[in-house]
Chains A and B, each alone.
Chain A
Amino acid sequence: MSRREKNLWIFGGILIVIYALFPIAWIVSLSLKAPSDLSNQQFLPTQVSWENYELILTGGASDLFLPALRNSFGIVLIATAIACFLAMFAAYAIARLDFPGKKLILSTALAVAIFPVISIVTPLFNLWRQIGLYDTWPGLIIPYLSLTLPISIWTLSAFFREIPWEMEQAAQVDGATTWQAFRKVIVPLAAPGVFTTAIIAFFIAWNDFVYGISLTSTNAARPVPAALGLFSGASQFESPTGGISAAAVVVTIPVIILVLLFQRRIVAGLTNGAVKG
């Protein structure tokens, strides 16, 4: 590769980084603007102010934002855990056992993954009201399974196919009990796959807005994206822009850290499940 060509690809790389980070930089910059500065029509704040963060963490908007943060973490973690738990057994069966219906299960997962979410919401809205699940944690955890379970089954089956299962027998030949062989050999091999699957499933449920906005009405279960959509300013005449930006930064930073730490695995998980199969 010539020097000129090399520089060209590096330039392309820099463009990509700017492309990816620009809106993030903008929302961070916006969150640091004082209310009077919000409409300066410039990219950067004239003066850095922490007012917006105070507003959402201790101030007037905290009773909307903090419960939402708690709801989001709780509901999404539980939905991810249930999905991974169920998907582990299913993926093990798909990767290791020979039984009719494998294809049916994988196709169903695919169909569920592309299902229009809003078509699930409308009947659930009425049903949840009747049976008292409206605006509760379980009322969101159950529909969230439609988001987390299919992707978990796909990604995990792809990961489990790559595990050298013969090692389990090898360990047993060497004198390990079945349980030891499972715990000392298979679990360490399978754990990274399960972990990656959990991260991807977490992202998808964390991103949900349709269920969150439709199936909740109060702080009891409303997750962060829905709360962001309903944010209003400190007073009727103040725009909620600053508060929304600060809240957006708070919920985006942990996700970005996760991405930076586990990028290689996330890419492998996303592409394995979808293309290689």
Chain B
Amino acid sequence: MSTTTLPPAGEKTSPKSAPKRAISDRARAERKLGWMLAGPAFAVMLLVTAYPILQAFYESLFDFRLTDPENRSFTWFSNYYVVLTDRIWWISLGVTLFITVVTVAVELVLGFGLALVMVKALSSIRPIIRAAILIPYAVITVVSAFAWQFAFSLTSGFVNTWFGWVPGIGADTDWFGGQWSALFVVCLAEIWKTTPFISLLLLAGLAQVPEVLQEAARVDGATWWQRLTKVTIPNMKAAIMVALLFRSLDAFRVFDSIFVMTGGANNTETVSFLAYRQTISRLEIGLGSAVSVLLFLCVVIICAIFIKGFKVDLSSTTGDK
């Protein structure tokens, strides 16, 4: 007699026609053990993300301010209407996209350079470089943001003194006084902090390019640049795409640097900061939740663009053999 075991929630049932043979007891026991061992971690992950986002969606449908709990009322999607018709939302979305595109583009080039140096560096100095590169990764984002803010600040900074010879920079250049100059410093800090991560991912990708191909190209007389663009980069496309996806999503939620360096002044507010300000500072739970849900949707859209549009094959990274 063959009994069909109930597959765990969320799993595809195997097509009815295919398996004539019943799942053996051993396989069934293995499945059960697998879910017993992995189940708690899985449940905790859902509990700390799926539940809050559903709660946020629910709360976003109410007009609710924490300081005025009496007047909580169900207003369908009016919070979304308020957010999406407000200039502040579009400015913060623009700023977030700007930071994401600029930092990720610069980091990709810079990170690739770092990875190349690490590959080429003599084995005697490689540990030193590797340790150095890990330091920005390990430094708290807030600390890095402060370091860069103080460097550019009017009172404590040295940048204006050092770069006084550059046209447009003088002793009284207020970097945080304007939108573009403030965003420039924010991007610098972000780039410094996260390039190491991207370069490590690219380094692992570089290691996967077969050496034979390089040799063959060299024998055929390809220049260094040709080898880089025609052999190395196409062969590590997967690693590049994964690094891009991870960093883009990470950059899109930029919050710490903005909080520390500008506090959102001069139109430097990002979407994350807007959600924070609505909920935590203004206690507008309904509006803040709506911004949170919209931010979540943006992340989903970016993911979809990468996976569908650029054909990022995440199955090669999900580690399923």
Contacts and interface: CB of A to CB of B under 8 A. Distances in A.
B197 A270 contact: yes
Contacts of A154: 319
A213 B259 contact: yes
A157 B232 CA distance: 28
Contacts of A241: 150, 153, 155-156
Interface string B180-219: 0000000000001000110011011100100000000000
Given A105-B38, A146-B45, A210-B255, A255 B204 contact: no
B292 interface: yes
A108 interface: yes
A207 B246 contact: no
B131 interface: yes
Contact of A17 (B128, B140, B299): B128
Given A116-B272, A209-B256, A39 B156 contact: yes
Interface in A14-41: 16-17, 19-21, 23-24, 26-27, 30, 38-39, 41
A260 interface: yes
A6 B125 CA distance: 12
B314 A110 contact: yes
B235 to A, nearest CB: 13
A93 B37 contact: yes
B141 A209 contact: yes
B253 A258 contact: no
A265 B319 CA distance: 20
Nearest to B141: A207
Contacts of B291: 122
B239 A275 contact: yes
Contacts of B10: 101, 104
Given A12-B121, A41-B157, A209 B142 contact: yes
A9 B117 contact: yes
B134 interface: yes
Contacts of A103: 315, 318, 320
B112 interface: no
Contact of A125 (B259, B272, B280): B280
A123 B289 contact: yes
A271 B204 contact: yes
Interface in A159-206: 161, 203, 206
A142 interface: yes
Nearest to A42: B158
Given A23-B192, A153-B41, A274 B66 contact: no
Interface of A: 6, 9-10, 12-13, 16-17, 19-21, 23-24, 26-27, 30, 38-39, 41-43, 86-87, 89-90, 92-94, 97-112, 114-127, 129, 142-143, 145-146, 149-150, 153-154, 157-158, 161, 203, 206-207, 209-210, 213-214, 224-225, 228-229, 239, 241, 244-245, 248, 251-252, 255-256, 258-260, 263-264, 266-267, 270-271, 274-277
22 contacts: A13-B125, A23-B151, A27-B147, A38-B155, A38-B156, A90-B40, A100-B7, A100-B11, A101-B8, A104-B11, A106-B320, A116-B253, A118-B275, A118-B295, A123-B52, A126-B59, A146-B49, A161-B319, A209-B142, A213-B259, A259-B131, A259-B135
